[in-house]
Structure 1
Amino acid sequence: MLKTIQNAFKIPDIRKKLAYMFVMLVIIRFGSQLPIPGVDPSFIRDWFEQQSGDAFNFFNAMTGGSFTNMSIFALSITPYITSSIIIQLLTIAIPKLEEMQKDGEDGRKKIQEYTRYLTVALALIQSTAMSLGFGGQGLLINFNQQTGMGKAGMVIVAIATMTAGSALLMWIGERITENGIGNGISIVLLFNIISSVPEDVGMLYTRFMSGKTVPIKTVSALIIIAVIVAVFVFVILLQDAERRIPVQYSKKMQGRKMVGGQSSHIPLKVNTAGVIPVIFASSIMSFPVVIAQFFNPDYSTIGGKILMMLNSSSWFKSAAPVYSIGAILYVALIIIFAYFYTSITFNPLEVANNMKKQGGFIPGIRPGKPTSDYLNNLLNYIVFIGAVGLTVICIIPLIISSVFNVGQLSFGGTSLIIIVSVILETLKAIESQMVVRNYKGFLND
């Protein structure tokens, strides 16, 4: 990895793209410190400290701390991520969108345009809910002392600033994709999550090493590093693991020549759905918890206990093991969404038909429906392994946090998956560009 980065800096064009990407990320961090006009950031900080659960921690990590700072990037790129998922699901339900997606570059540009519009709409809805829901509780300074147009003006400024900030981040992400290296939106998300790591490291130090003797500090540091490295290695293995299905192409006559007969393979990734199942499962589990916080729920009632069960901070507590039922539901949702998302991104019947048209077949399997059934059965087995791997990565940090009373960490299993996957994809993008330039140099010579 380090060698790839070193070689990349030796190529002027790639060095220029990396510099452009770095400048854009600096602009994002600068904007993360600019508060929204008329907003009291201490209100959100105090409110956030009273909350618990992975939903709020992960959301704050995705915003790079901009949410607790109530900066112009408070919503970050979460509206864009949500709109991308919605549009992707709609392409399955709406035939016109599905045709548009298959219609080459023009169709993809049109879908991207719809995604932008939906992003702005979602940002507008979220900023309006926050401004109206928290405005009178202390988010907006002197909100209760204003009347008429003064109060409306404060709300409009807050809504416009948060919506514009989210749209600006979307624009920066697209510019990084166009002028930098890799997927710009993913890199922005990665940078936001990494910016929360120092705070988590400080929390771990305070919990396990502060005030302890040198031997205890050393042992604690070694254990923490070992756990983090082990999880990272597991995530890397899960992201890179794939099952290669051999494919043989039969020979055929073209003119006077016999062509074909070569061997190939179909790579089936173990984690075919990536981090999407975890995001879907976390969103469904956290949605009722987030909405309930606006109404100050009573946790002594049945409804309050159900909310506690959905809250990840209540899981794996020895004092109240019944709330860990929520973890079982969480695992089930991850597995369900892993199968669901894989089913809409990989169609065994379509793959089998394409192989048959090209004269390809899997050794020992007849072309057509038998090939489709074979791929479907194999895919179900692989998806289950990938879903179990995702579950292990997400559950282990929650267990450690509860058993050792670590506190609220934004650096959880979902964050680790995003960090590893984005870094691997970016490195592959750098390597591919280096290969292209080497070929250009060879041709020019």
Structure 2
Amino acid sequence: MKKLIQTLKNIWSIEELRSKIITTLLLILIYRLGAHIVLPGLDPNKINLAGAKSGALGLIDAFAGGAFSQASIFALGIMPYISASIFMQLMTILVPQMQKIQKDGDSGRKKINQWTRYLTVGVTMVQAGAYVAYLRQTNSSALFESYKEFFWVSTMIVLTAGTLFVMWLGEKITDKGLGNGTSLIIMVGILARLPQALMQEWDHQNVRGGGGLLIFLLEVMVLVAIIMGLIVLVQGVRKVPVQYAKQIVGNRQFGGARQFLPLKVNGAGVMPIIFAQAIMFLPTLISYSNFENKAGIAKIFADPKNGWHMIIYAVIVIAFTFLYTALIFNPKQIAEDLKRNNGFVPGVKPGQPTADYIGAIMDRITLPGAVFLAIAGILPGFAQWAGVTQGFASFFGGTSLLIMVGVILDTLQQIETQLLMRQYDGLMNTGRIQGRQATQTSVI
């Protein structure tokens, strides 16, 4: 405890770090306040969007911090920007012209960021139109009669402006605050649902009497164990030894040191789960209707407790993990960079043999990473099958928990870097906190 108090004092004593933390907290507070402002033209007392807290809409509501089910001005949250960012990232991988623009340095990145913002506006307007149709279908009684003529246009404008404002908040947090702003906004939205989910699970188990308390404690212990496992998955790397040749320039010697090339076990990050969920939700997103009334294939795709749902979901996650890793990981480029910098893998010839060697290692470690990622994706379904309420079960794995673990590790890593730069002790007595900084797949 004494070590913790001293670490907190050290953090607060660094003026730059203190300013970043205060700025981040203020911007997040603005976001959370906006998430409770209801759209104009709706009676807050008559809004009933209980169906938006389950199924595919439940995931959107989780990312929006509950704003989706509250008909807030931030109902769409940051998700349109995430969708646009994912699309632009794939384009920079698949389209050679986009790759060239991205490699132009700061000007190329600014151009791609600008295109991402324009695409965000288009995606937001499409999603806003669908959301308005959903509100008119399910909550027509909450609409003020005198405002019905203007509701469609005004809501689309307000929702688009709200998403762009949230996007701006995320960029400001990244520039002036601590950590990745977009990731922090998503994480805060997810965490905002945790207290309510815990209370619902407590009430659900408390009905059983004394045995319910024991079950609740066991569930919390299992959740902690899952979080620890995901930390291992996020931080797990395979270190490939790399040797750099000695160079003598004047009277000084450069190189000759033995280093390691870290290959991440989960090189694709959370992207395979996002893609898998998008595919699984397609049959159920034909219309914003009640998923509980779905039948047949749509029912399988909408029910995470269904055995076929888990199998299909796991297969898609594993397939996308290999596909996305192959798209973003280029062993030939790594081999060329090593050769250019007079580096080599001991016992392996430079050039194509090195590329084949690194590619083979990446293929071997990607398989267990993909399997563990698939297990993490279907854990919420197992939790619901075991009797956990749907809201609390969503924290047992899947996109929500992976994002939370990754974002927290990234933020702690930045804090530790600031402490070490100023000769303070880090956050841990042994080792270093590793985030996703080295991963090329961190879209959020």
Q: TM-score, normalised by structure 2?
A: 0.88
> Counterparts of 2:194 and 2:67 in 1: how far apart (Å)?
14
Cα offset for 1:231?
Answer: 0.5
Residue 127 of structure 1 corresponds to which residue in structure 2?
Answer: 128
Amino acid at match of 1:426: T
> Residues 22-61 of structure 1: matches in 2 within 5 Å?
22-40=25-43, 42-48=46-52, 52-53=54-55, 55-61=56-62
Q: Is the 8 A contact 2:226 2:396 kept in 1?
A: no
- What displacement does 1:395 show? 1.8
User: Does 1:278 pair with 2:268?
Assistant: no
Q: For 2:332, which of 349, 352, 362 is the aligned residue? A: 349
After superposing the two structures, state which structure 1 stretch, 404-413 or 62-71, moved more: 404-413
Amino acid at match of 1:219: L
Cα distance in 1 for partners of 2:206, 2:376 equals 25
Note the residue ranges of structure 1 that are not aligned, 5 or more in a row: 316-323, 440-445
How far residue 435 of structure 1 moved from its aligned partner, in angstroms, is: 3.5
1:19 corresponding residue in structure 2: 22
Q: Does the alignment pair 1:432 with 2:436?
A: no
Matched, 1:385 2:380: no
Q: CA RMSD in A?
A: 2.4
Deviation of 1:230 after TM superposition, in Å, equals 0.4
For 2:259, the aligned partner's letter is S
Residue number in structure 2 paired with 1:67: 68
Task: Report the equivalent of 1:372.
Answer: 355
Q: Is the 8 A contact 2:314 2:377 kept in 1?
A: no
Matches within 5 A, 1:163-174: 163-174=160-171
Match of 2:77 in 1: 76
Secondary structure at the aligned position of 2:42 is classed as: coil
Q: Distance in 2 between matches of 1:219 and 1:135?
A: 44
User: Is the aligned partner of 1:334 residue 2:329?
Assistant: no
Deviation at 1:257, TM superposition (A): 6.1
What is the alpha-carbon distance in structure 1 between the residues aligned to residue 40 and residue 410 of structure 2? 38
Question: Which runs of structure 2 are paired with 1:236-315 in the superposition (5 Å)?
Answer: 236-254=231-249, 259-294=254-289, 299=294, 304-315=295-306
**What amino acid maps onto 1:11 in structure 2?**
I
Aligned residues of 2:304 and 2:310 also touching (Cα < 8 A): no
- Matched with 2:226 is 231
| Contact 1:40–1:139 under 8 Å retained in 2 | no
Note the C-alpha offset of 1:421.
0.5
Distance 1:293 1:34 in 2: 22
Please give the alpha-carbon distance, in whole angstroms, between the structure 1 residues aligned to 2:379 and 2:143: 44
Partner SS for 2:204: helix
Q: CA deviation at 1:344?
A: 2.4
Task: Tell me, yes or no, if the aligned pair for 1:31 and 1:73 is still in contact at 8 Å.
Answer: yes
Classify the secondary structure of the residue corresponding to 2:68: helix
> Counterpart of 2:281 in structure 1: which amino acid?
S
Quote the Cα distance in structure 2 between the aligned partners of 1:337 and 1:44: 37
1:321 aligns with: none
- Residue 176 of structure 1 is matched in structure 2 by 173
Residues of 1 paired with 2:95 and 2:188: CA distance?
A: 34
Q: Which residue is 1:442 aligned to?
A: none
1:117-160 deviations in Å (ceiling 9; x for gaps): 111211111001221344254347447x67xxx64421111111
C-alpha separation between the residues in 2 aligned to 1:140 and 1:159? 19
Match of 1:443 in 2: none
Which secondary structure does the structure 1 equivalent of 2:37 belong to?
coil
Change (3 A) 1:34 1:258: closer
Report the equivalent of 2:434: none
Is residue 415 of structure 2 the alignment partner of residue 411 of structure 1? Answer: no
Following TM superposition, by how much is the alpha carbon of 1:87 offset from its aligned partner in structure 2, in angstroms?
A: 0.4
- For 1:338 and 1:221, how far apart are their aligned partners in 2? 34
Summarize the Cα distance change of 1:44–1:291 in structure 2 as closer, same or farther, 3 Å threshold: farther
Aligned to 1:320: none
The alpha-carbon deviation at position 360 of structure 1 amounts to 1.3
Q: Could you tell me the TM-score, scaled by structure 1's length?
A: 0.87
Q: Which amino acid aligns with 1:90?
A: M
- 8 Å contact kept, 2:223–2:396: no
Structure 2 letter corresponding to 1:203: Q
Match for residue 184 of structure 2 among 187, 210, 221: 187
8 Å CA contact 2:238–2:262 kept in 1: the answer is: yes
Q: Per the alignment, do residues 237 and 105 of structure 1 end up closer, same or farther by CA in structure 2, a change over 3 Å counting?
A: same
Q: CA separation in 2, counterparts of 1:297 and 1:193?
A: 24
Q: CA deviation at 1:10?
A: 1.8
Instruction: Give 3-state SS (helix, strand or coil) of 2:23's partner.
Output: helix
1:399 aligns with 2:399: no
| C-alpha distance in 2 between matches for 1:360 and 1:202 | 56
Aligned to 1:319: none
- Counterpart in 2 of 1:100? 101
Q: Could you report, residue by residue, the CA deviation over 1:69-101 in whole angstroms, capped at 9, with x for unpaired residues?
A: 111110000011111100000112222221121
Quickly say closer, same or farther: Cα 1:233–1:340, change in 2 above 3 A.
same
Q: 1:18 to 1:405 in 2, by over 3 A?
A: closer
- CA separation of 1:386 and 1:5: change in aligned 2, threshold 3 A: farther
User: Residue 286 of structure 1 contacts residue 311 of structure 1 at CA under 8 Å; is this kept in 2?
Assistant: yes
Q: Secondary structure of 1:266's match?
A: strand
Give the AA of the match of 1:164: A
**What SS is found at the alignment partner of 1:36?**
coil
Using the TM superposition, give the Cα deviation of residue 325 of structure 1 relative to its aligned residue in structure 2, in angstroms.
Answer: 1.7
Listed one character per residue, the Cα deviations across residues 169-217 of structure 1 (whole Å, up to 9, x for unaligned) are: 000010011110110111111111100001110121022124513xx24
Deviation (angstroms), 1:43: 4.5
Contact 1:331 1:391 in 2 (8 A): yes
What is the aligned-residue identity percentage?
36
Counterpart CA distance in 1 for 2:273 and 2:310 is: 13
Partner SS, residue 411 of structure 1? helix
- Provide the residue aligned with 2:159 in structure 1: 162
How far apart in 2 are the matches of 1:219 and 1:46? Answer: 29
Q: Is the 8 A contact 1:43 1:139 kept in 2?
A: no
Q: Tell me if structure 1 keeps the 8 A contact 2:47–2:70.
A: no
Which letter maps to 2:417? S
Greater fraction helix:
1
Assess if the C-alpha contact under 8 Å between 1:312 and 1:327 holds in 2. no
